[in-house]
């Protein structure tokens, strides 16, 4: 590549070298948070990300007020520049602080044991076995993401619209569905470990119903009011009216599947509670294949709305399939029973 493309590649590579450090801290945070959650302690792990966001926001504000930064553009973000260091170290330091907060809380509560290097330990070998399917799960998601991004035609504005719409879409899921799943997972895992089928079914049904209940309203709101929501969140500065409209169309399509997406991910936790990562991998492969096929069929006619709709349909269908598979393997309620039974 030449010109801007070469510069884009150079700056992107330099940024990635620093951002990759975040993986270590994310892993540390996940380990400590899991240890706390297993003991029924959720507060610190739930609120520590606020610290990461505050540090990242402070870094962005510093960029705007740093007299030593001549221009906020691709050329100004070259490796070693002031913009480069603010932009990379801000989020990375924020993630590190988040991890340290959670680790400190886990150590203080006695939830985090002293680490010991023992690659031959039975627990490590077992984790390695189940992790192979989890890696496959992630790979399937990345393949679908690459296809969808290319269908969105990078450089046309549609890819940016889809990415921003996905960020807004993830907000109600993260605030509501993830909170429910985080509190329910230790209870599901405990019931599965004790082979208490009745308790597992009861806890699963409660969590699944709550997931559906708390995501239905946001789904309707985002579909019906996508443009005002996008305009309120992003419609300022250099964000044009055309960009608002395109992002809103993508958000409308995605939000049709908010309930299905959230329920699907909750159902998969039922499999994970039994140490089963193979079944989620297989279901996820089917989900991503369906997403790709639908995206190819719908993008030409419906543009970015079609990409969002493909995502929504794929997850709605896959949530129903996952519920049925979990019912057959572990006796949990089917979709009809979840929706009609009283809380």
Residue 71: how many other CB atoms lie within 10 Å: 9
Residues 206 and 326 in one domain: yes
Q: Is the pLDDT of residue 4 over 80?
A: no
Residue pLDDT, tens place only, 280-301: 999 999 999 999 999 999 999 9
Among the candidates 82, 115, 148, a domain finishes at: 115
Burial 117-126 (b: 16+ CB within 10 A, else e): eeeeeeeeee
User: 155 or 124: which carries more pLDDT confidence?
Assistant: 124
Question: What is d(CA 17, CA 175) in angstroms, rounded to the nearest whole number?
Answer: 30
Residues 86 and 167 in one domain: no
Residue among 339, 47, 55, 38 nearest 179 (CA) = 47
Residue 334 near residue 279 (C-beta atoms within 8 A):
no
- What local confidence, expressed as pLDDT, does residue 39 receive? 86
Q: Is the pLDDT of residue 240 over 90?
A: no
- What 8-state DSSP symbol labels residue 333? -
- What local confidence, expressed as pLDDT, does residue 285 receive? 98
Handedness of CA 314, 316, 322, 325 (dihedral sign): negative
State pTM to two decimals: 0.84
Residue pLDDT, tens place only, 164-204: 999 999 999 998 999 899 889 989 999 999 999 999 999 99
Query: How many domains, the chain?
Result: 2
Among the candidates 115, 139, 165, a domain finishes at: 115
Q: Is the pLDDT of residue 321 over 60?
A: yes
Q: Is the pLDDT of residue 3 over 60?
A: no
Question: What is d(CA 186, CA 188) in angstroms, rounded to the nearest whole number?
Answer: 5
- What 8-state DSSP symbol labels residue 115? P
Residues 288 and 311 in one domain: yes
Residue 284: how many other CB atoms lie within 10 Å: 22
- What local confidence, expressed as pLDDT, does residue 1 receive? 41
Question: Mean of the per-residue pLDDT values for the chain?
Answer: 91
145: tokens are 């993401």
Residues 308 and 338 in one domain: yes
How much is the average pLDDT of 49-56? Answer: 93
**pLDDT tier for residue 79 given thresholds of 50, 70 and 90:** confident
Question: What is d(CA 79, CA 85) in angstroms, rounded to the nearest whole number?
Answer: 8
Q: Is the pLDDT of residue 64 over 90?
A: no
Residues 149 and 235 in one domain: yes
Residues 110 and 128 in one domain: no
Among the candidates 115, 133, 149, a domain finishes at: 115
- What local confidence, expressed as pLDDT, does residue 340 receive? 79
Q: Phi/psi of residue 193, each to 5°?
A: -65, -35
How much is the average pLDDT of 145-170? Answer: 90
Residue among 81, 45, 47, 46 nearest 63 (CA) = 81
Residues 92 and 208 in one domain: no
Domain that holds residue 101: 1-115
């Amino acid at each position: 590549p030449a010109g801007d493309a070469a510069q884009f590649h150079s700056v992107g590579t330099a940024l990635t070298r620093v951002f990759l450090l975040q993986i270590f801290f994310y892993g540390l945070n996940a380990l400590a948070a899991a240890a706390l959650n297993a003991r029924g302690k959720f507060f610190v792990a739930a609120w520590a990300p606020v610290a990461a966001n505050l540090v990242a926001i402070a870094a962005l504000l510093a960029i705007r007020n740093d007299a030593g930064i001549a221009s906020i553009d691709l050329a100004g973000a070259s490796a070693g520049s002031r913009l480069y260091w603010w932009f990379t170290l801000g989020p990375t330091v924020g993630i590190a602080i988040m991890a340290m907060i959670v680790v400190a809380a886990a150590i203080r509560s006695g939830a985090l044991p002293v680490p010991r290097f023992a690659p031959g330990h039975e627990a490590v070998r077992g984790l390695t076995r189940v992790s192979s399917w989890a890696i496959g799960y992630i790979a399937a998601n990345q393949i679908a993401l690459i296809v969808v991004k290319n269908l969105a035609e990078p450089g046309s504005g549609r890819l940016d619209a889809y990415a921003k719409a996905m960020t807004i879409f993830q907000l109600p899921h993260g605030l509501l569905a993830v909170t429910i799943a985080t509190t329910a997972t230790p209870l599901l895992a405990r019931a599965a470990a004790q082979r208490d089928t009745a308790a597992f079914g009861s806890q699963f049904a409660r969590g699944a119903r709550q997931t559906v209940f708390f995501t239905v309203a946001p789904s309707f709101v985002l579909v019906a009011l996508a443009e005002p929501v996008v305009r309120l969140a992003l419609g300022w500065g250099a964000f044009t009216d055309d960009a608002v409209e395109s992002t809103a169309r993508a958000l409308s399509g995605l939000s049709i599947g908010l309930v299905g997406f959230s329920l699907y991910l909750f159902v998969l936790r039922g499999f994970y509670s039994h140490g089963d990562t193979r079944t989620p991998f297989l279901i996820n492969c089917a989900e991503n294949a369906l997403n790709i096929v639908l995206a190819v069929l719908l993008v030409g006619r419906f543009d970015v709305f079609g990409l969002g709709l493909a995502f929504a349909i794929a997850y709605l269908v896959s949530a129903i399939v996952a519920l049925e598979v979990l019912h057959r393997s572990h006796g949990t309620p089917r979709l009809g029973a979840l929706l009609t039974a009283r809380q």
